[in-house]
Structure 1
Amino acid sequence: MSADQRLLLVHAHPDDESIQNGATMARYVAEGRGVTLVTCTAGELGEVLVPELAHVAADKDDTLGEHRREELAEAMKILGVTDHRFLGGFGAFRDSGMKWHEEGYAIAADETDERAFANADLTRAADELVKVVREVRPQVLVTYDEFGNYGHPDHIQAHRVAMYAAQLAAVPSYKLELGEPWSITKIYWCAMSEGRFRDSLRSLRASGDTETFAGMDPDGDMGPFTTPDEFLAAKVEGGEHAEQKVAAMKAHVTQIDADGPFFAMGGSVGTAFWGTEYYRLAQGVQGPVGEDGLETDLFAGL
């Protein structure tokens, strides 16, 4: 990759990247920066939302992973990302599945396949990512927080693998057959602004919508899904790429309902809602900031 500034994103399943970082990715591609996506599983155990494709589900033909690979390829085409890979190669790690805790966040399923990503040896999985880090040599890494943003075991494992691989890749004496050592300068965790989410909920409730995120009070406990605004470090404005992001999300047709709560969150501003993406800084020094105390560029200060 010849770009002077390079971003590496590590996500658990196809669709996670478009939801969390689609505008950021599209913006950086347009600016000529390098963007590499590593997806850790093919999302084989995802819920199929398209009735005519119900047969691809894991408990039927078990071909959802192959279908989601094509959805991901289409989403990346929309965003302009040409370097997207599966960790260790397609099928190396399988979706671990999940179930919902009574309090509304994801937890591990009762049973998992021996190939499940959540069960993978951490060093083995990290070494696969070390190879990518040392090849791409990114200055910036983006992944999830320690809770995987909502508790899914694959998201949590992706966090662990990304953070460990970043450490190992920088060690001068570590497995040189994996490439020349490289230290990532800045690491960010995806985040949802608590203040922005509350404002969006208020707008929905004021419009009479009580179904979207039913039971959530705009002034109540947001649980672990949002990040208090004081913990945010960066806000990437990708408004001119918001339509690209929404189109990329919709490319994941088996997973994202175009009439579902995701798109309702835009309220009166519609697609524009999706053009702003927030981040927590997990490693490195915050660069120059705007009036709100947030960086406007993940490469700020580099």
Structure 2
Amino acid sequence: MTGGPPSRRLLLVHAHPDDETLMTGGTIAHYLAAGVDVAVVTFTLGEEGEVIGPQWAGLAADGGADQLGGFRIGELAAALAALSPDGSEPLAPRFLGGAGRWRDSGMAGSPASRNPRALVQAPLTDVVEALIGELRAFDPHVVITYDAAGTYGHPDHRRVHEACAAALARYTGETGRAVKVYESITAATALRAGLAAAADRVPAGWRLPGPGELPSYPDDEITAQIDVSAVRGRKVAALAAHATQVTVAPSATEYALSNNIVQPIGTVEYYRRVDAPGSGRETDLFEGVR
């Protein structure tokens, strides 16, 4: 007598702690609640993050202690626990090559980007080899990554996209097994609607974004959307767990990073499939997976 049906496996690759919640937190919680085997692999500890408020400011790279990365491991663990179903084993952080293997590169042109340990300074072959190890160990059906622009141009996001594309090409070539690949993106119409709804409740000291200040994609480029309304509270709790980087508005319907620009917390997360052309808009990333 055999066991139960084989598990569906979803792998998400992210550059820094908090990216997993900001971009895909609802999707993580949605599929964990559905019993899917989920893994989140983070490439750096986010050492160069801009710390919000004075309480932990001294941990930052330019704050003296340079201990922010270690602290953010705890934030990531708390966020993943918030995204996990009640009564289950909390999803645990996984770091590419082990925690601290590569360092947050900071923004393009910053001194951090020239650090020998920065992710952007690492030979791409080394990063790809480490990611192939994760792929072999987890054997995912679906992978979520960034677009070529790295969402908003962060060098580490670009490197994650580049390494993921190269690793998947080798992995699928070796195994002969198809993997569905999606880029996490923002839908322009949903972004506009969320900002319009937030216009009359902007917290003091925050501001609405200027035109084009937040990246988004035309609706006709969206090929998948996941309704995360049932787990939206988990995403809000996970955002709050990343307290050095994220502030959740009193309404719990918006958040801001250290720049205090309002961003909506939507009930749908959007994706673009890149491994194969599709027709229509999927509502399940595992659609067609056997």
Fold shared by both chains (TM-score > 0.5): yes
Asked if the contact 2:77/2:92 (under 8 Å) is kept, the reply is: no
Distance 1:28 1:133, change over 3 A: same
Asked if the contact 2:249/2:255 (under 8 Å) is kept, the reply is: no
Question: Could you tell me which residue of structure 1 aligns to residue 278 of structure 2?
Answer: 286
Three-state SS of the structure 1 residue aligned to 2:196 is helix
> Does residue 187 of the first structure (1) align with residue 181 of the second (2)?
yes
Amino acid in the other structure paired with 1:227: Y
Distance 1:215 1:87, change over 3 A: closer
Identity across the alignment (%) = 37
Question: Could you tell me which residue of structure 2 aligns to residue 160 of structure 1?
Answer: 162
Q: Relative to structure 2, which stretch is displaced further, 185-194 or 81-90?
A: 81-90
Q: CA deviation at 1:274?
A: 3.0
> Does residue 41 of the first structure (1) align with residue 44 of the second (2)?
yes
Question: Could you tell me which residue of structure 2 aligns to residue 102 of structure 1?
Answer: none
Question: Could you tell me which residue of structure 2 aligns to residue 82 of structure 1?
Answer: 91
Asked if the contact 2:52/2:243 (under 8 Å) is kept, the reply is: yes
Deviations 1:37-70 (A, max 9, x none): 0000000010111312111111211110000001
Question: Could you tell me which residue of structure 2 aligns to residue 296 of structure 1?
Answer: 283
* Residue from 257, 266, 276 that aligns with 2:268: 276
Map 1:95-114 to 2 at 5 A.
95-98=104-107, 107-110=108-111, 111-114=113-116
Three-state SS of the structure 2 residue aligned to 1:123 is helix
Q: CA deviation at 1:74?
A: 0.8
Question: Could you tell me which residue of structure 1 aligns to residue 238 of structure 2?
Answer: 248
TM-score of the pair, normalised by structure 2: 0.85
Distance 1:250 1:265, change over 3 A: closer
Amino acid in the other structure paired with 2:60: A
Distance 1:87 1:226, change over 3 A: same
Q: Relative to structure 2, which stretch is displaced further, 243-252 or 257-266?
A: 257-266
> Does residue 201 of the first structure (1) align with residue 195 of the second (2)?
yes
May I ask how many residue pairs the two structures share in their alignment? Answer: 271
Asked if the contact 1:191/1:279 (under 8 Å) is kept, the reply is: yes
Distance 1:3 1:277, change over 3 A: farther
Distance 1:194 1:108, change over 3 A: farther
Asked if the contact 2:254/2:265 (under 8 Å) is kept, the reply is: no
TM-score of the pair, normalised by structure 1: 0.82
Aligned-residue RMSD, C-alpha: 2.6
Q: Which runs of 5+ in 1 are unaligned?
A: 99-106, 173-180, 267-271, 288-292
